[in-house]
Amino acid sequence: MSDDVGVRVMIRAPRAEDEVAYAEAVRRSADHIGRWNPVEPDGLPELLERQGAGLRTFLIVDRETDGLVGKVNVANIVMGRFCNAALGYDSYLPFAGTGRMTEGLRLVLDRCFAPQTAGGLGLHRLEINVQPDNERSIALAKRLGFRHEGFTPRMLFLQGAWRDHERFALTAEEWPGSGAA
């Protein structure tokens, strides 16, 4: 079993053929993701173009049906002495709230902390920034073992205003299975 395959889900890079399924998944999930993370349903081609040293996107896919469970952006990747990135994510109906997103994110974290020599991203620290009243995302960050680090006022421009965020982080030493743990 490859490291990118879990019990109910697997993770992989997005590709051009995912465009229709992605747009449908985002559209049918708009009510539950829109308030927190406005996502453009037809935005996959642009996201594919932006993939590179600073951004790596993973899709979480249901193994049984091949349906799209969610998307994780490993963004703002800075290597050198920092080896740091910020995670952004959305889960899609009908899989939201079934635990599959959590399982998929665990696989993404494995990839993030694995050394580049082993096909990983070689990161040392990951950050999740969440609006204070986004309870489901805060629960997810805590479930994954992220520590609450602090409060960042007016951090991101979302839905027409600069929004405060709670900052959660995790380093490789804290991630079970990572060589640094």
Ligand X SMILES: CC(C)(COP(=O)(O)OP(=O)(O)OC[C@H]1O[C@@H](n2cnc3c(N)ncnc32)[C@H](O)[C@@H]1OP(=O)(O)O)[C@@H](O)C(=O)NCCC(=O)NCCS
Interface with ligand X (CB under 6 A):
32-33, 36-37, 89-91, 96-102, 130, 134, 136-137, 139-140
Our CB check for ligand X shows the closer of 56 and 165 to be 165
CB of 80 to ligand X, least distance (A): 26
Our CB check for ligand X shows the closer of 33 and 114 to be 33
Sheet holding 147-158, edge to edge: 9-12, 56-62, 68-78, 84-91, 125-130, 161-171, 147-158
Our CB check for ligand X shows the closer of 42 and 133 to be 133
Identify whether the C-beta of residue 45 lies closer than 8 Å to the C-beta of residue 2. no
- 107: helix, strand or coil: helix
Our CB check for ligand X shows the closer of 3 and 103 to be 103
Identify whether the C-beta of residue 171 lies closer than 8 Å to the C-beta of residue 144. no
Residue of minimal CB distance from ligand X? 99
CB of 17 to ligand X, least distance (A): 23
CB of 9 to ligand X, least distance (A): 10
Q: Scanning the structure block, which residue is given the tokens 């839905």?
A: 159
DSSP 108: H
From the CA atom positions of the chain, what is the Rg in Å?
Answer: 16
CB of 108 to ligand X, least distance (A): 12
